[in-house]
Amino acid sequence: MDSSDSHDSATSGKKSGRTSLLDSGEDFEVLNEEDIDDEPPPLEDAGGGKGKNTDERTNADTDSDPPGPVEEWLDVLGNDQLKKKVLEEGKGRDSRPQKGQNVKINLKTCLSDGTLVEEQSDLSFTLGDGDVIQALDLTVMLMEMGEKALVQANAKYAYGERGSLEPEVPPNEELSLEVELLEASDAPDLELLPPAEKTALAIHKRERGNVHYQRGDYAFAVNSYSIALTITESSSKVDITPEEETLEHQPDNIKALFRMGKVLALQGEYAEAIQTLRKALKLEPSNKTIHAELSKLVKKNSEQRGAEQALYKKMLGNPASSSSSSSSSSSQKHWAKSSWGLSWKWLFGATAVALGGVALSVVIAARN
């Protein structure tokens, strides 16, 4: 080691050890000015050897493999039953589709053990309308345009306790979905849709409601039936034939209204259920089944309103009922006396008015 290296080491040791010496209270030697070398240390040694350590870290970083992309699962609902992981990034958050838009995706569905269920290309549906399983409705809204994602869905957000025959999915089966978002566009204006397209769209929504109804998903059934009825009852700005005007009178629409009314009744929404069944009865006045169900709901609604009114009266009862029996008795006597006096006064007044009216009528008649 040469003199410059020795001097650099001493200087570095002095600089790094000054605080510890002061803190420990030990004696240390103060250097004279002539003992300090005016020449700066070589560039490579400046900083007490820090350059060497930096070079070592740089070499180590260069030798090591670069880290791959971080694989993170997004817990969509916070219950660990619906998770999403990005496989390929999309075009940014601003490209995410909105509820009510029509989207197109590529979909690969597998069971939890990796068994392929089906592959679908260019699958189109309206986001948020319940056209597909809930797992897709909830996760596609979080995807960016062009993004590929992997979705793990509990059976609750797939085909539930009953499973599915088409596609073939066992009961209570978790699914793995590989999704690619291709495009998104605004839903068409119902008033500008040709009658044939409007009919097809209404039938699709109604059939989806039937699926929900059969599976016991009544809230989703009501939603799909409501959308179908909205499409059916929407006005049109295009020319239609008399045959096309009978769309809303189809038997399937009457059945959808009837089912929707029953679902609303099961949920305790008697007023809405009655309104829905009346729509169905208007389309088919001779339907005895609708008549019977409507009469039953009207009776239940009346009983419910009576029970609510009784409850309100009980809640708004006389707060003075907790007073002593003596004061209560005297109050009742005073009230009775006052009521008697008021009744007589009212009776005398009413009699006087009546007599005056008769007299006036006699005078007018005599003049005439």
Q: What is the pLDDT of residues 113-155, one digit of tens each?
A: 999 999 999 999 999 999 999 999 999 999 999 999 999 999 9
Burial of 12 (0-12, 13-18, 19+ CB in 10 A): middle
pLDDT greater at residue 171 or residue 325: 171
Q: Looking at residue 357, what is its pLDDT?
A: 59
**Which is it for the CA torsion 336, 340, 345, 346, positive or negative?**
positive
Q: Are the C-beta atoms of 228 and 206 separated by less than 8 Å? A: yes
Q: Name, of 60-69, 92-101, 221-230, 297-306, the range with top average pLDDT.
A: 92-101
User: pLDDT-based confidence at 330, cuts 50/70/90?
Assistant: low
274 pLDDT above the threshold of 60? yes
Say what the pLDDT of residue 138 is: 96
Q: Which residue has the higher pLDDT, 120 or 353?
A: 120
Residue 104's DSSP bridge partners are 124, 183
What's the predicted TM-score (pTM) here?
0.56
Q: Would you state the pLDDT for residue 351?
A: 59
Peptide bond into 188 cis (omega under 30): no
- Residue 308 binned pLDDT confidence (cut-offs 50, 70, 90): confident
Instruction: Give the pairing type, strands 74-75 and 116-126.
Output: unpaired
Query: What confidence score (pLDDT) does residue 367 get?
Result: 57
Question: What does the pLDDT average to over 239-244?
Answer: 67
84 pLDDT higher than 90: yes
Tell which wins on pLDDT, 48 or 262.
262
> Is residue 353 pLDDT above 60, yes or no?
no
Q: What is the side-by-side order of every strand in the sheet holding 116-126?
A: 74-75, 82-88, 148-153, 175-185, 102-111, 116-126
pLDDT at 11 over 70: no
Q: Are 276 and 262 in contact (CB under 8 A)?
A: no
342 Cβ contact partners less than 8 Å away, ≥ 6 residues apart: none
How far is CA 136 from its chain centroid? 14
Q: Please give, one letter per residue, the 3-state secondary structure of the chain.
A: CCHHHHHHHHHHHHHHHHHHHHHHCCCCCCCCHHHCCCCCCCHHHCCCCHHHHHHHHHHHHHHCCCCCCCCCCEECCCCCCEEEEEEECCCCHHHCCCCCCEEEEEEEEEECCCCEEEEEEEEEEECCCCCCCHHHHHHHCCCCCCCEEEEEECHHHCCCCCCECCCCECCCCCEEEEEEEEEEECCCCHHHCCHHHHHHHHHHHHHHHHHHHHCCCHHHHHHHHHHHHHHHHCCCCCCCCHHHHHHHHCHHHHHHHHHHHHHHHHCCCHHHHHHHHHHHHHHCCCCHHHHHHHHHHHHHHHHHHHHHHHHHHHHCCCHHHHCCHHHHHHHHHHHHHHHHHHHHHHHHHHHHHHHHHHHHHHHHHHHC
Average pLDDT, the chain: 76
Q: Of the segments 17-21, 140-144, 275-279, 323-327, which one has the largest average pLDDT value?
A: 140-144
Q: Which of 80-94, 146-160, 301-315, 346-360 has the lowest mean pLDDT?
A: 346-360
In the chain, the amino acid numbered 114 is G
Of 110-124, 301-315, 344-358, highest mean pLDDT: 110-124
- The residue whose two tokens read 């305790």 is 268
pLDDT of residue 191: 87
Q: Kindly indicate the confidence band of residue 296, based on its pLDDT and cuts at 50, 70 and 90.
A: confident
